[in-house]
Structure 1
Amino acid sequence: MSSPVPFQDLNLIPYNIASTSSSNSVTGSTQRPLIVPKLEPKHEPLDETLPLPPARFQFSQSPNPNLSFDYRPNVSLPQQSISEITAFEQIPENLSDESFVYSEFNRISEMFRTAVANGMQNNEYAGTLNPESGAIVPIEDENQLSIVSPRKRYQKRSSELVRVTNLGIEDERYFRDIVRKTRMMYDCLRILATSEEEKRHGPGSGRRARGDLRAATVMRGRGLWLNRDKRIVGSIPGVLIGDLFFFRMELCVVGLHGQIQAGIDCLSASLSPNGEPIATSIIVSGGYEDDEDSGDVLIYTGQGGQDSHHRQCLHQKLQGGNLGLERSMNYGIEIRVIRGFKYEGSPNGKVYVYDGLYRIVETWFDVGKSGFGVYKYKLIRIENQPESGSAILKFAQSIRNAPLSARPTGYQCLDISSNKEKVPVLLFNDIDDNREVAYFDYIPRTIFPAVAYSSMGSSNGCDCVNGCSDNCVCAMKNGGEFAYDLQGILVKGKPLVYECGPKCNCPPNCRNRVSQRGVKYKLEVFRSRETGWGVRSLDLIQAGSFICEYAGVVLTKEQAQIMSMNGDSSLIHPSRFSERWAEWGDFTDMFSDYARPTHPCTPKLDFVIDVSKMRNVACYMSHSTCPNVMVQFVLYNHNSLYYPNVMLFAMENIPPLRELSLDYGVAEPQAEEWEEKFRISN
């Protein structure tokens, strides 16, 4: 394994084409009779069973359910007043089938349809199964639904099983964008809630802030959990193999796994018209001693029979999730597999990674290591999928520990920064002999002109000797609150962030000195056949984390005009970067009284960054209209608003070895005019 298989990532342009992965086979045991069973949810040891707390975010107006995401690209919902909107919006009856991205709902198998029909006849089930609906499971008539109590209602998961097929490129982009925005909103809410909890109780109080639960509660109350109107079999549109999640609640928010604690997600027998549960996804976290995981082949142990210490103490029973997995094997239903394990770099020390679709090929009852009867299921990974995310994580870890052993060929330089960064920046190219990256002078910080420091003498710093507090001078510059939480995560984007500077008395580890500390992730410049040079990280990057500065030599507008006369294309215009910072922590689409930060702000930026001879790792990031990295302007080493630092932060959780991308924006018309005017033709 010399290099990882590219992700099926829609962030980058053009798309990467995922290669295939092979499957192996493992023999199973014979079935044995069941004895003294007990059924209970399959809890995972890395999780905590906690109830959803009430939302702590109070706003003056009720949320608008029209802001909920659905599956209709380019369909604008009519604007209605708050009083005219019901608890959850229903799909209009007159909306044509062509308006849906669900262009085709494939049936799982003809056998399953027969079983459903027989179950309806035997049980006199009142539901209907329209042959043209594409539904795998019939649902009750709306007129027969029971009356819901007047208390606050949440959108219940549908009992209709569907598979999404025939998605075009635009549909995939659309779904990916919905998932990204939903996850960004979840992360922003979680970080904000955690930050508020830290403010109330202070660091070191021993109280764990559960921002993940509060964020999920707020989004659920506003109908922002995805895939609630359909229960999807197979791949979830917009969720890619290799996507990482830090919390179980986030899996529920995007609809990848609908159980908060149980490891098997299935349609229960009470909701199924034929009285049989159907499993759709599982989480493998090493909670059962009889599990065997070799990657493409998985021996999964059923649920039940464990005590509070996750020790098998009773026999398992073929009910609930256990029966759901057996029925899914019988009907040929593929299973989404999410692996959970401890991983450095996660805010809670663990990650969940989506590893793709598996098919159950065998099930049997066996005596486990503890001497009790357990159900086992053999799952084999379906071919022609991108490499699993857990394999990528393990490979990235081996590169971090010993890059030359993990990749004997391809590394041209183990640190292009020549120790100028605290963490080495690697150069990898296994495609051709291009070594141009190593020929540039590496600078970790931007070089500003003398005019930027002209006003330094008239400013004063803070007097916070032990670290900045919420009422210090630097906090007031930021509008009365710091931009970062206690872990150095950007709480919400602003037009400009003031960090503590050279005249401040606070220590280097002050919470308001995040971006000036430099690179902390092990980055790698690599050669790609699709995007040329690119950048990826060998470490897991948490959403909202600082990555690096976009460094070069700053030129004034006049100097840039002279450079442009020679047709120099190595000029970066900071004013052209898309304002992605406004999306980070922006709740205007969620809360009617939320105001986007407008202070502090910068004037029109006329300077450019020359990277023709001196540059850093950021200059090799690829362009994308759906980036995973954003620009946040920061001021700390001088006071000139006309020359802020261009700092880069993560917009989402970025797995190791996934390419980093920026939205460089488009050229301003007036800028194109004066560039063309002074250009000298060759």
Structure 2
Amino acid sequence: MNSLFSPENLPPPPGIPIPATIAGSAAAPTPILIPKLEPLDEWLNTQQPQEPNFSNGSLDLNLLCDETPEDPTTNNLYTEFNRISHLFHTAFSSGLQSDAVSDPFSQNSAVPDPSALHHRQPNGTAVPDPDSRAIVPVPEEDGPSSSAAVATATTPRRRCKELVRVTDLGGAEHLHFRDVVRRTRMVYDSLRVLATVEDERRVDARRARSDLRASAVMRNCGLWLNRDKRIVGAIPGVCIGDVFLYRMELCVVGLHGQPQAGIDYLPASMSSNGEPIATSVIVSGGYEDDVDEGDVIIYSGHGGQDKHSRQVFHQKLEGGNLAMERSMYYGIEVRVIRGVRYDGTSSASGKVYVYDGLYRILECWFDVGKSGFGVYKYKLCRIDGQSKMGSAMMREALMLRKDPLCFKPMCCMSLDISNGKESVPVRLFNDIDRNYDPLRFEYLVKTNFPQFVFHQSGRGTGCECVDGCVEGCFCAMKNGGEFSYNQSGILLRGKPLIFECGPFCNCPPHCRNRVTQKGLKYRLEVFRSRETGWGVRSLDLIQAGAFICEYTGVFLTREQAQLLTMNGDSLIYPNRFTDRWAEWGDLSPIDSNYVRPSYPAIPPLDFAMDVSRMRNVACYMSHSSAPNVLVQFVLYDHNNLMFPHLMLFAMENIPPMRELSLDYGVADEWTGKLSICS
């Protein structure tokens, strides 16, 4: 971590020439300086037009939710959800006065706090930071003053003055910070999904924003990342191409500290040299003077707009505009996040936010905008040597969805290895060698259990729901009194076992409790990789908690598996998959009363699946100790607890063209390798 500035005097900013057409014109009214807001962003709401208040160094939660807290014990079926519901209501009713807990994810941070976290008055008391913008504390080290430690344990931490850049991280540090970000985002997604359940249970039309509620709870609990430091450059643990569905999630991980403004910067009042410095920008392509060519961006400044985002005054070189100019002057890079339109997202704006890496500001000038008023413009160029832009990968995936042969058609070995058995085609792509191995196997859509499994389970009993399952029905009670999915089919919490509605239920196929039976909906691709052999990626964005597909194979008893193992066949043992399901929906970082689900219980699994002759796309997923896909056991076509289906769900938002991975668990006793085909 390197300090970028010291208190020594620095040269003043050079003047920026103003075009004669503007300089010689009649004196314009005093411009209204407002942050550069992103048009049509989900933050805009007609019921609450004002911006959130950051003047006291924290987000005014009362502006984010106008509902009156309800009694969280009105529904006895959702005991776990009620406890989380109470956290939501507490966050929004008490603002930021609730106690914060220490951040369990940041105890081993390799980026120490370079200075005091609070401005203090002469008597030593902490005062609000008027310019704090984003983002989470790491636990404060034990100091000589215990009273100071107590004070910071119950109040949101403020960001320090000094800018820092994180450099020279080793492989272990990269993995550590990646895991920190991964778990933080998983808590955020889990909270957000649970908040949607509360909205679904409301009888009126007033619904709070689930993303705002989740971020508010996490902030109150001290789980926003990087709030104790002002990081210039890359954020440890955030990779190029990472996709975020909501602006508030950018704040939670510390990538961009402004919920609405397009420019995030360290204000002059907080800078050690008295000058503002820009750290990140969001490019959404919604401004008339912006030009986005990928590696080169012409970015227009902020200010001079009315409430309808129309340019009505000349812009001034202050605030974010001056911060961008100062970053150019000192050669400080900025992070670029692109807002991309994407159909099928759960965000109100229909956009997702993709981190595209670091850019340098090479030029700054004052020009006449298309509206006829003066606009500051900045030329940003992407720094060489970085990974491919995530937005470019999304455009490539979109092209492939429209025309599977538009990119290296000779390397497309098959347009559909399932031969029409899946509801969407599964593409086979190999641009490395001439290996056709996946075409040699029969595609198996789902695991077909032998008849004795159904006989042992007996004839099942189903629900009597006519138009989809409702709270309190028989199938809900089998799952412990709560449904496992929200109305959009997103997994709420991982469990040892999930009972879905089956052939003995009266509910229709569109019932909310039949998620995994509807088959594959994402356009997956089996591809050849130099690192992992065969791998799987998606041409679609997969939302965290969404069902992907079943892991299929030919059912084998223990005795049959032992015989085939001696022949060298590829076998999968379901009991060896790690319990990653417990991580999805784990709210222990924010709720000390959280209990890991233990019902419905499942006995030890004593069967194997042979994938040496019949398999599906899931069998080509690679192993990872930090996977983005989990295995969830599900029953729907029989009631035998010993023989569940292996259903795969996304543990995070998986961008298009990013490889899917599983944690296969322990290695084979004989070969020392994972029990999966290579």
Map of 1:646 onto structure 2? 646
Distance 1:356 1:318 in 2: 26
Report how far residue 31 of structure 1 moved. Answer: 4.2
The 2-side partners of 1:374 and 1:650 are apart by 43
Q: How far did 1:64 drift?
A: 6.6
Per-residue deviation, 1:63: 6.4
Whole-Å separation in 2 of the counterparts to 1:31 and 1:343 = 39
Partner of 1:44: 38
What is the CA deviation profile of residues 271-320 of structure 1, one whole-angstrom value per residue up to 9, with x for unaligned ones?
Answer: 12333211100001123210000000000000012222222111111110
Selected match of 1:58 from 86, 92, 101: 86
Is 1:147–2:126 an aligned residue pair? yes
Query: Which residue is 2:473 aligned to?
Result: 472
Deviations 1:15-56 (A, max 9, x none): xxxxxxxxxxxxxx9643666433111100132246534797
Q: Aligned pair in 2 of structure 1 residues 67, 370: CA closer, same or farther (>3 Å)?
A: closer
Residues 421-500 of structure 1 aligned to structure 2 (within 5 Å): 421-455=422-456, 457-500=458-501
1:124 alignment counterpart: none
Paired with 1:292 and 1:458, the residues of 2 have a C-alpha distance of: 64
Q: Deviations over 1:423-444 (max 9, x none)?
A: 0000000111110101100011
Contact 1:493–1:581, Cα closer than 8 Å, also in 2? yes
Listed as ranges, the gaps of 5+ residues in structure 2 are 1-15, 53-60, 70-83, 92-97, 129-150, 673-678
Unpaired runs of at least 5, structure 1: 1-28, 74-99, 103-132, 677-682
Seen in structure 2, the aligned counterparts of structure 1 residues 551 and 540 have a Cα distance that, compared at 3 Å, is same
Q: Does 1:530 align with 2:531?
A: yes
- Please name the residue that 1:311 is paired with: 310
Instruction: Give the number of the structure with larger relative contact order, counting CA–CA contacts within 8 Å between residues 6 or more apart.
Output: 1
Distance in 2 (CA, whole Å) between partners of 1:429 and 1:441 is 19
Distance 1:250 1:298 in 2: 24
Aligned match of 1:269: 268
Preserved CA contact (<8 Å) 1:46 1:341:
no
Match of 1:10 in 2: none
TM-score (norm: length of structure 1): 0.82
Take 1:190 and 1:58, find their aligned partners in 2: how far apart are those partners?
14
Equivalent residues in 2 for 1:89-128, closer than 5 Å: 100-101=110-111
Match of residue 81 from structure 2: none
CA distance in 2, matches of 1:167, 1:477: 48
Residues in 2 aligned to 1:138 and 1:472: alpha-carbon distance in whole angstroms = 52
Q: Which amino acid aligns with 2:39?
A: P
Distance 2:189 2:459 in 1: 39
SS of match in other structure, 2:649: strand
Amino acid at match of 2:371: S
Asked whether the equivalents of residues 63 and 591 of structure 1 are also in contact (C-alpha less than 8 Å), the reply is no
- Aligned 1:592-631 pairs, distance under 5 A: 592-631=592-631
> What does 1:286-297 align with in structure 2 at a 5 Å threshold?
286-297=285-296
Distance 1:608 1:338, change over 3 A: same
Question: Which residue of the partner structure matches residue 118 of structure 1?
Answer: none
| Matched positions, count | 583
C-alpha change, 1:407 and 1:364, in structure 2 (3 Å) is: same
* Alpha-carbon spacing, 1:626–1:63, altered in 2? closer, same or farther (3 Å): farther
What whole-Å deviation, never above 9, does each CA across 1:624-680 have from its counterpart, x for those lacking one?
000000000000011110000000000000000000000000148xxx38x99xxxx
2:221 equivalent in structure 1: 222
Query: How big is the shift at 1:206?
Result: 4.9
Q: Is contact 1:396-1:538 (8 Å) kept?
A: yes
Q: Kindly indicate whether the alpha-carbon contact (under 8 Å) linking 1:63 and 1:590 is maintained by their aligned counterparts in 2.
A: no
CA distance in 2, matches of 1:231, 1:358: 17
Partner AA of 1:220 in structure 2:
R
Name the structure 2 match of 1:195: 197
Paired AA for residue 251 in structure 1:
L
Aligned to 1:357: 358
1:485 CA displacement: 0.1
Rounded Cα–Cα distance in structure 1 between residues aligned with 2:183 and 2:660: 17
Amino acid at match of 2:106: D
Determine the C-alpha separation between the residues in 2 that align with 1:311 and 1:575.
60
Distance 1:304 1:552 in 2: 60
2: CA distance between counterparts of 1:291 and 1:219? 34
- Look up the equivalent residue of 1:313 and give its one-letter code: V
TM-score (structure 2 length as normaliser): 0.82
> Against the structure 1 CA distance between its residues 317 and 421, is the aligned structure 2 distance closer, same or farther, given a 3 Å change threshold?
same
1:317-396 aligned at under 5 Å gives the runs 317-348=316-347, 349-396=350-397
Q: Compared with structure 1, are the counterparts of its residues 288 and 144 closer, same or farther at alpha carbon in structure 2 (3 Å cutoff)? A: farther
- In structure 2, the partner of 1:519 is 520
Measure, in 2, the Cα distance between the counterparts of 1:556 and 1:665: 20
- Structure 2 vs 1, CA of residues 333 and 144 (structure 1 numbering), >3 Å: closer, same or farther? farther
Deviates more, 1:455-464 or 1:387-396: 455-464
Distance 1:458 1:396 in 2: 45
Partner of 2:171: 169
Match of residue 108 from structure 2? 72
Check the 8 A contact 2:118/2:158 in 1, yes or no: no
Q: CA deviation at 1:561?
A: 1.3
Partner of 2:657: 657
- Cα distance in 2 for partners of 1:504, 1:140 equals 63
Deviation at 1:146, TM superposition (A): 4.9
C-alpha contact 1:264 1:281 (8 A) present in aligned 2: yes
Moved more, 158-167 or 510-519: 158-167
SS in 1 for 2:494: coil
Deviations 1:440-485 (A, max 9, x none): 0001110212221114543211111100001110000000010000
Paired with 1:432 and 1:664, the residues of 2 have a C-alpha distance of: 26
For 2:495, what is the secondary structure of its paired residue?
A: coil
In 1, distance between residues paired with 2:100 and 2:360? 40
Matches within 5 A, 1:203-242: 206-242=205-241
Q: Distance in 2 between matches of 1:563 and 1:219?
A: 50
User: Which secondary structure does the structure 2 equivalent of 1:307 belong to?
Assistant: coil
Deviates more, 1:379-388 or 1:190-199: 190-199
Q: Which amino acid counterpart does residue 582 of structure 2 have in structure 1?
A: A
Structure 1 residue matching 2:177: 3-state secondary structure? helix
> Once the two structures are superposed, what CA deviation does each residue of 1:528-585 show, in whole Å capped at 9, x if it has no partner?
01100000000000000000000111111111111122232x1000100010000000
Q: Is the 8 A contact 1:537 1:657 kept in 2?
A: yes
Alignment deviations for residues 112-168 of structure 1 (CA, whole Å, 9 cap, x no partner): xxxxxxxxxxxxxxxxxxxxx978x99967967653489973222222210000100
Looking at structure 1, the residues matched to 232 and 180 of structure 2 have their Cα atoms a distance apart, in angstroms, of: 19
CA–CA separation in structure 2 for the residues paired with 1:288 and 1:525: 39
Tell me the distance in 2 between the aligned counterparts of 1:248 and 1:101.
Answer: 25
Structure 1 residues 659 and 468: alpha-carbon distance in aligned structure 2, compared to 1, 3 A threshold: same
- Displacement after TM superposition at 1:184 (Å): 0.4
Alignment of 1:420 onto 2:421: yes
Deviations for 1:574-628, whole angstroms, at most 9, x for unmatched residues?
Answer: 1000100000001123211111111001100010111110000000000000000
Measure, in 1, the Cα distance between the counterparts of 2:252 and 2:114.
25
RMSD, aligned α-carbons = 2.5
Q: Is 2:408 aligned against 1:407? A: yes
SS in 2 for 1:409: helix
Change in Cα spacing, 1:245 to 1:441, as seen in structure 2 (3 Å) is same
Query: Is residue 2:259 matched to residue 1:257?
Result: no
| Cα distance in 2 for residues equivalent to 1:437 and 1:285 | 40
Change (3 A) 1:406 1:46: farther
